[in-house]
Amino acid sequence: MSDQEEDFATMFDASVKARQFRRGQTIEGTIVGFGPKVAFVNVGGKGEAEIDIAELKDADGDVEVSVGDRISGMVVSTSGGIVLSRKGVRNAATQRELEDAFASGLAVEGKVASVVKGGYEVRVARERAFCPLSQIDIIRTEDPATHVGRVYAFRIIEYKDAGKTVVLSRRKLLEEQQRAGAAELRKSIVPGAVLAGRVTSVVDFGAFVDLGGGIQGLLHVSEMGWSRVTNPREIVAAGDPITVKVLRVDDGTQKIALGLKQLLDDPWSKVSATYEVGQVRTGRITRLTEFGAFVELEPGIEALAHASTFPPTGNAGGWVKSVSAGATGAFEILSIDPEKKRIGVALIEEGSSRSGDMTPLASEPPMSLGSLGDSLRDALKKRQ
């Protein structure tokens, strides 16, 4: 047989072989070689197909197959030979996996790609899915961009239109995990226990803290710091990680009372060494009552100046008109009871021989809690 006849026979055989396949058909073959732009695939007998090398590369641009490896491909052309493509097969395989995961309730892993209207675009393998804003976490997300770039496990809650619509929920998985661990977790929530949690919401009277397993406790504003806290939002914010101490657990209602200041140094522990009767200190009036005024001598240390220690004005209760919350002045220490955390003081009138160089009673704006909040946050970070 001449060379021309042999070339014709080869071409005829390839043409016959090609006609055995149809476009859209998925077939398997073995990689037998690589050319500059295509790889050659043995699809049975003397039949050989081509596939673009670009379709054999991974995300980093490296060819992920070698000679001898078997691959699946979809026939995209039979004109003059068989041409394969893996794109359709890969998409179909991924869609089948998603559909199976939806039917069986299995979790899938996805990466949050971007924030879109109403939620997030999530990439699961090479497929796009949607996660509503309310389904990305158990607690409300203040800044949606926080989740972008994160890889989470999701439950598929909706799959339709052959995979064109895939809706995910991370929240359902987290809730399932919470229920599974709640019973065991409650055993560790006892008075005195120090636990890590996360702030779920902040209200005027304190903050609710998620301790895990769907269990929440209340951190009352009075337990946030040794200094008087009037605005809990200056101390914590929703989403903040936090370490707290369990103060009380109500067996009947299952309500849990938490404390934060108990994990910080108690300023009263140093009172005996730094305060003496007869000492004069500058103080700031924090609030007024019928029986006197509370005076902050330093953050966390409050004293009481009884009404009887203020200058008389000739009528009962008239002393209140001479002072106001936020005013500062010089106060003499009259009594100290560290165990009961009580200090009695008296205002020293301006011009008195005891006043010395102390600041006279003058109205000033109430002190901001910003520095206190910063101090508490710094202390918490050191403990985590």
Q: What is the tens place of the pLDDT at every residue in 25-69?
A: 778 889 999 999 999 999 876 678 999 998 888 777 888 888 988
- Which token pair is 291? 């029986």
Q: Which of 140, 151, 37, 157 is nearest to 106 (CA)?
A: 157
Angle at 226 between CA 220 and CA 229, to 5 degrees: 55
Provide the pLDDT for residue 35.
Answer: 92
At 80-99, the pLDDT tens digits run 788 888 876 666 667 777 88
Q: Is the pLDDT of residue 139 over 50?
A: yes
- Are 362 and 311 members of one domain? yes
* Secondary structure class of 213 (helix, strand, coil): coil
Provide the pLDDT for residue 371.
Answer: 43
Provide the pLDDT for residue 115.
Answer: 94
The number of domains in the chain is: 4
- CA dist 302 → 291, 295, 330, 344, 345 (Å): 15, 5, 14, 9, 10
The residue ranking higher by pLDDT, 274 or 9, is 274
Q: Is the pLDDT of residue 313 over 70?
A: no
Provide the pLDDT for residue 93.
Answer: 63
Is residue 145 a part of any domain in this protein? yes
Rounded CA-CA distance 111/151 in Å is 4
Q: Is the pLDDT of residue 319 over 80?
A: no
Please report which helix (H) or strand (E) contains residue 47, including its range.
strand 47-52
User: Structural domain of residue 79, as residue ranges?
Assistant: 3-85
User: Percentage of the chain with pLDDT > 90?
Assistant: 29
Provide the pLDDT for residue 361.
Answer: 42
Q: Name the one residue in this structure whose structure tokens are 């966390």.
A: 300
Place 363 in a pLDDT band, splitting at 50, 70 and 90. Answer: very low
Q: Which of 162, 15, 30, 125 is nearest to 79 (CA)?
A: 15
Place 16 in a pLDDT band, splitting at 50, 70 and 90. Answer: very low
Is residue 376 a part of any domain in this protein? no
Provide the pLDDT for residue 76.
Answer: 80
Provide the pLDDT for residue 312.
Answer: 64
The residue ranking higher by pLDDT, 76 or 41, is 41
Rounded CA-CA distance 89/94 in Å is 9
Q: Which of 48, 100, 46, 37 is nearest to 73 (CA)?
A: 48
- Are 280 and 357 members of one domain? yes
Beta bridge partners of 50: 40, 83
At 102-136, the pLDDT tens digits run 888 888 888 999 999 999 999 987 788 999 999 99
Q: Please say which residue of 85, 118, 134 terminates a domain.
A: 85
Looking at mean pLDDT, say which of 70-74, 80-84, 197-201, 378-382 comes out highest: 197-201
Please report which helix (H) or strand (E) contains residue 9, including its range.
helix 3-19
Provide the pLDDT for residue 91.
Answer: 64
How much is the mean pLDDT over the chain? 80
The residue ranking higher by pLDDT, 83 or 383, is 83
Long-range pairs, 312-318, Cβ under 8 A, ≥24: 317/290
- Are 75 and 15 members of one domain? yes
Provide the pLDDT for residue 316.
Answer: 59
Q: Is the pLDDT of residue 366 over 60?
A: no
- Are 104 and 142 members of one domain? yes
Of the given ranges (156-165, 180-189, 199-208, 282-291), which has the lowest mean pLDDT? Answer: 180-189
CATH number at residue 201: 2.40.50.140
- Are 213 and 277 members of one domain? no
Q: Is the pLDDT of residue 167 over 50?
A: yes
At 258-306, the pLDDT tens digits run 999 888 878 888 888 889 899 999 999 988 888 889 998 988 888 999 8
Place 209 in a pLDDT band, splitting at 50, 70 and 90. Answer: very high
Q: Tell me if 154 sits within 8 A of 169, measured CB to CB.
A: yes
Is residue 183 a part of any domain in this protein? no
- CA dist 267 → 140, 261, 302, 307, 377 (Å): 36, 11, 10, 26, 17
Burial class, 334, CB count within 10 angstroms (exposed 0-12 / middle 13-18 / buried 19+): middle
Provide the pLDDT for residue 3.
Answer: 55
Residue type, 18: A
Is residue 228 a part of any domain in this protein? yes
Provide the pLDDT for residue 367.
Answer: 40
- Are 200 and 248 members of one domain? yes
- Are 345 and 281 members of one domain? yes
Residue type, 76: V
Provide the pLDDT for residue 219.
Answer: 95
In this prediction the pTM is: 0.43
Provide the pLDDT for residue 15.
Answer: 47
Is residue 360 a part of any domain in this protein? yes
Using DSSP bridges, classify how beta strands 38-44 and 26-34 pair: parallel, antiparallel or unpaired.
antiparallel
Q: Tell me if 72 sits within 8 A of 28, measured CB to CB.
A: yes
